Amino acid sequence: MMPAQRGSREPDVLVIGGGNAALCAALMAREAGASVLLLEAAPRAWRGGNSAHTRNLRCMHDAPQDVLTEAYSQEEFWQDLLKVTGGRTDEAMARLAIRASSHCRGWMRRHGVHFQPSLSGTLHLSRTNAFFMGGGKALINAFYRSAEQLGVQIRYEAPVDRLALRDGAFVAAFVGSERITARSCVLAAGGFESNREWLRQAWGQNARGEWPADNFAIRGTRFNQGVLLRHLLDAGADPIGDATQAHMVAIDARAPLYDGGICTRIDCVSLGLVVNRDAQRFYDEGEDFWPKRYAIWGRLVAQQPGQIAYSIIDAKALGRFMPPVFAGTRADSLEDLARQLGLDIPAFMQTVNAFNAACRPGQFNHQVLDDCVTQGLTPPKTHWARAIDTAPFYGYAVKPGVTFTYLGLKTDTSTAVRFAGVASPNLFVAGEMMAGNVLGQGYTAGVGMSIGTAFGRIAGTQAAQVAMQETSLGTT
Ligand SMILES: Cc1cc2nc3c(=O)[nH]c(=O)nc-3n(C[C@H](O)[C@H](O)[C@H](O)COP(=O)(O)OP(=O)(O)OC[C@H]3O[C@@H](n4cnc5c(N)ncnc54)[C@H](O)[C@@H]3O)c2cc1C
């Protein structure tokens, strides 16, 4: 049975943020008997941050488990993470998140989350990722419903702009002029991806005189402005990560500035070729399975002139990838496709002809790292290389879509925020605000929610423990 709330008006635990990490923290703290207040910057209709846009969670499992097929061992998950981050990860924290992913779903189910098997398609995720029935929006709604039932106080349109700290300890949070005290605090207010000015500063001006970030779209919420991240860094909290590292996807160039979500992602890159506005290829489209590569393509496009590129496929690719929300440009000839996309026709034809001539015959299989490769081509295409030769042809103009940034607060497995290496006694951090401890660069699909769930739950438990210890010692 849920412990009763204690009498005082001041909550034991203050949770700042309203996405998955915040809700996991709030639920765990409340289950541990603490009274909890959650402050969400967004209005109720927009609650849930980027978590509301998600679809799945990457999970370790040693044998088939409900919606997950086969096995995905701790070691394989770790090796995947090691590979995508190029070693820029903290092994202890990564392994903790991986182990936690194997047993969090029972707890999630108890709070009303339902799972479903992955849909068939090109994402190769049925073994590794558990999909939320109804997507992230349904997950968020379930967590809010459960939190309300358990007596977590929730306030919307409550953006915290600063904290009062004493020697690294949390004292109070401010929403404008309102001062809110609590015995401990969990920060789960996302990255700074929605803050276009900060992105502009971080990316700077390139050698072509462009400000690349001016051409980025933000795939998720507009509310992750990084206000508290900036405030904490200015207050001396230890940072982790690099401001230009982020989960960045190639999205349809027609996507809106915010909240385009999953349906604007262009998922046919590994099935065709990608050229920049000079009609030149610039990266191996078939380097690895798409879930391990999709999150680098936004960054690759960001480095191209005009921050634009064109994903080109032919009829053979149709039905093999998640269809995007907007139809692609369609043409019956490659020349006409180049013309419609505004590409230089001779340059485009030269690129496609060179690519087609370099494709070696192989056994095409999009479910494995197959032997369809190019030979003598720079850059090569190392899997799924097939000539672009079957009409109709399709092209999608793509631009960089920022999912979330990796610059965050340094922490360890306790989730305590650190000031000059010293752990705060009552200030904890979870989710995107600390994901850079695990993700120095790169990404593998579903690990954002694994990180948010694991460290959100720890942060909530820790915050409750500290708050309740303080109370029983009569120190507040
Ligand atoms: C389109 C899209 C699809 C994605 N799909 C997946 C997926 O399938 N699987 C996966 O693992 N990851 C996915 N991700 C990444 C995933 O969303 C994040 O890793 C994860 O949701 C982070 O959770 P969080 O709670 O830290 O942040 P968020 O869910 O973004 O929550 C941050 C919250 O903080 C609030 N906030 C911000 N500033 C303040 C403030 N000053 N005061 C109070 N509140 C504040 C925001 O309103 C928001 O509610 C996706 C992201 C996007 C954008």
Domain ranges of the chain: 13-191+226-241+408-473, 247-401
Which ligand 1 atom is nearest residue 260's CA?
1
Cα 32 from chain centroid (whole Å): 28
Task: List the residue whose alpha carbon is closest to atom 21 of ligand 1.
Answer: 51
The confidence band for 294, taking pLDDT boundaries of 50, 70 and 90, is confident
Residues with CB under 6 A from ligand 1: 16-22, 39-42, 48-51, 53-57, 159-160, 188-190, 219-221, 223-224, 227-228, 261-262, 403-404, 431-432, 446-449, 452
Question: Which CATH number does 13-191+226-241+408-473 carry?
Answer: 3.50.50.60
Question: In this model, does residue 122 exceed pLDDT 50?
Answer: no
Distance from the alpha carbon of residue 445 to the mean position of ligand 1, in angstroms: 14
DSSP assigned state of 52: G
Which ligand 1 atom is nearest residue 225's CA?
38
Pocket test for ligand 1, best of 23, 24, 50, 230 (most atoms within 8 A of CB): 50
Token pair 């690895």 in the structure block, residue: 288
Cα 323 from chain centroid (whole Å): 20
- Does the reported pTM lie above 0.85? yes
Find out whether 242 and 67 touch, Cβ atoms under 8 Å: no
Question: In this model, does residue 355 exceed pLDDT 70?
Answer: yes
Could you say which architecture CATH assigns to the domain 247-401? Alpha-Beta Complex (3.90)
Regarding predicted confidence, which is higher, 342 or 293?
A: 342
Task: Say how many CA atoms lie within 13 Å of 55 toward its Cβ.
Answer: 13
Task: List the residue whose alpha carbon is closest to atom 27 of ligand 1.
Answer: 190
Question: In this model, does residue 173 exceed pLDDT 80?
Answer: yes
- Average pLDDT on 203-217 reads 97
Question: In this model, does residue 161 exceed pLDDT 50?
Answer: yes
- Average pLDDT on 163-179 reads 98
- Average pLDDT on 67-89 reads 94
Find out whether 345 and 296 touch, Cβ atoms under 8 Å: no
Q: 108: closest CA among 160, 159, 56?
A: 56
Q: Give the whole-angstrom CA distance, residue 430 versus residue 463.
A: 11
Of the candidate ranges 6-15, 18-27, 81-90, 403-412, the one whose mean pLDDT is the lowest: 6-15
Q: Give the whole-angstrom CA distance, residue 466 versus residue 12.
A: 9
